[in-house]
Amino acid sequence: MIRATIENINVYEGQVVTLSGWLYNKRSSGKIIFLQIRDGSGFIQGVVVKKEVSEAVFETCKSLPQESSFHVTGMVQRDERSALGYELLVREVEVVCRAEEGYPISLKEHGTDFLMDYRHLWMRTPRQHAILRIRDEINLGLREFFHEEGFVLVEPPIITPASCEGTTELFEIDYFGENAYLSQTGQLYAEAAAMAFGKVYSFGPTFRAEKSKTRKHLNEFWMIEPEMAFVDFEGNLKVQEEMVSYVIKRVLQRRRRELELLGRDVTALEKIEPPFPRITYTEAVEMLKNAGFEFEWGDDFGAPHETHIADQYEKPVFITHFPTSMKAFYMQPDPTNPEVILGADLIAPEGYGEIIGGSQRIHDLELLLEKLRAENLPEEVYQWYIELRKFGSVPHSGFGLGLERTVAWICGIDHIRQTIPFARTLNRVYP
């Protein structure tokens, strides 16, 4: 018996193989039953012809409820009409678990909220399956990019004693009678690690108690955060555009079938290569005003602003030199104009908004202390972070890429909640 997977089915053309999987769907026309079989690696049509199988096999297939699990044996044959290019001419079926009747997800259109309630089952369907496959590819691509470039993966803690990125969006927890928080970012710890290893990255879940209900916000999301000693503002942007381009190229090479299933216009993705365009925050404000937006220097961009700016370019665009007052305490002010910082946000095309925030960091001890005091941040809990500026401090830079927003953009899907296996949003902690 040859055990095959749908992903590699082309290897077995003309041979009899066994697939282990689930009955995704089924239709029949009297003497023929068409089984939609999925095995986790893909979807294939199984054809059960009455006169070519035993009566028992035919009856089993006829009565088997949706999402039953089984081993199916049959001959792999070419089928030009299917996306996969192959179908399975079924000979034997061995049922593992006969599903209950009444599978909640049918082929009819369900609302997204309903489907999110059944996320544990919804992820079995082709579109959701394709999105999470692409997520996996992006995830691995990011790790491989940094590993190849000599970065060391260093995991920051998830439970932290202080805020790392603004104090208003913290999930507070009771840590044996003391206040602690779920991490908003691994950055400050990555900075410590960069002084030990030179080039590092962290990649983990981060938490924001934001009461946002937009299609770009999750309360738990994954962020990859590289941090580099002896790298300045300029070098930081270079790593970002190379990283993004590398990941897109990889998805185009390895997950084209999934992109096609999602109906993604890949020509837009094929244009993504370094260098990326840049404009300063101040230029962006001018651009918005000229386009008729009411916008003042010092205002933060909303979705319509970001989209307007992004629409001027075919590639992601860096908006650089934001007002110092708008950004986090650790960002290095521009020595030639301390009103703005040596940092940038990367805005994805097609309205997907900010996917990266990054900057050069303050490495001067006195300046850091000044900033902490100005923002009323308690020095005691940042003592370790301050000490990094006492012992061999060097100019350094880093950034954070939000995984889910990147997946949404690359997949071309409208809502970020579909890009993570189990989303945590303002009104959802189930399932």
Helix H, strand E, coil C: the string for 217-265 is CCCEEEEEEEEEECCCHHHHHHHHHHHHHHHHHHHHHHCHHHHHHCCCC
121-126-129 Cα angle (round to 5): 70
- Beta-strand pair 333-334/317-320: unpaired
CA–CA gap between residue 47 and residue 330 (Å, rounded): 62
- Choose the stretch contacting ligand 4AD; rule: CB under 6 A; options: 8-16, 219-227, 228-236, 377-385: 219-227
**129, 264, 305, 405: residue in contact with ligand 4AD (rule CB under 6 A):** 405
Q: Specify the 3-state DSSP secondary structure of 114.
A: helix
**398, 409, 413, 420: residue in contact with ligand 4AD (rule CB under 6 A):** 398
Q: Which residue type does 238 have?
A: K
Structure tokens at 335: 């020595």
- Among Mg ion, ligand 4AD, none, partner that 405 touches (CB below 5 to 8 angstroms by kind): ligand 4AD
217 is a site residue for ligand 4AD (CB under 6 A): yes
**38, 133, 208, 315: residue in contact with ligand 4AD (rule CB under 6 A):** 208
CA–CA gap between residue 390 and residue 124 (Å, rounded): 53
**Tally of CB atoms within 10 A around 192:** 18
Residue with tokens 């997800």: 105
Q: How far is the CB of 399 from ligand 4AD (least distance, A)?
A: 5
73 is a site residue for ligand 4AD (CB under 6 A): no
Distance between alpha carbon 193 and the CA centroid of its chain, in Å? 24
- Among Mg ion, ligand 4AD, none, partner that 418 touches (CB below 5 to 8 angstroms by kind): none
HSE-CB at 264 with a 13 A cutoff on CA atoms is: 29
253-257-260 Cα angle (round to 5): 110
Q: How far is the CB of 217 from ligand 4AD (least distance, A)?
A: 4
What is the gyration radius of the CA atoms in the chain, in angstroms? Answer: 26
Handedness of CA 381, 321, 204, 146 (dihedral sign): negative
- Choose the stretch contacting ligand 4AD; rule: CB under 6 A; options: 82-90, 214-222, 363-371, 385-393: 214-222
Residue number with the smallest Cβ distance to Mg ion: 357
223 is a site residue for ligand 4AD (CB under 6 A): yes
358 is a site residue for Mg ion (CB under 5 A): no
Which is nearer to Mg ion, 38 or 216 (by Cβ)? Answer: 216
* List of E strands, 386-427: 396-402
Which is nearer to Mg ion, 21 or 357 (by Cβ)? Answer: 357
Q: How far is the CB of 355 from ligand 4AD (least distance, A)?
A: 5
Which is nearer to ligand 4AD, 225 or 241 (by Cβ)? Answer: 225
306 is a site residue for ligand 4AD (CB under 6 A): no
156 is a site residue for ligand 4AD (CB under 6 A): no
Are the C-beta atoms of residues 410 and 255 closer than 8 Å to each other? no
Number of residues that bind ligand 4AD (CB under 6 A): 21
357 is a site residue for Mg ion (CB under 5 A): yes
Q: Give, as ranges, the residues between 335 and 354 that touch ligand 4AD (CB under 6 A).
A: 354
- Beta-strand pair 172-175/178-182: antiparallel
Q: How far is the CB of 402 from Mg ion (least distance, A)?
A: 9
Q: How far is the CB of 185 from Mg ion (least distance, A)?
A: 10
Binding residues for Mg ion (CB under 5 A): 357
Binding residues for ligand 4AD (CB under 6 A): 165, 185, 187, 208, 210, 217-218, 221, 223, 225, 354-358, 398-400, 402, 404-405
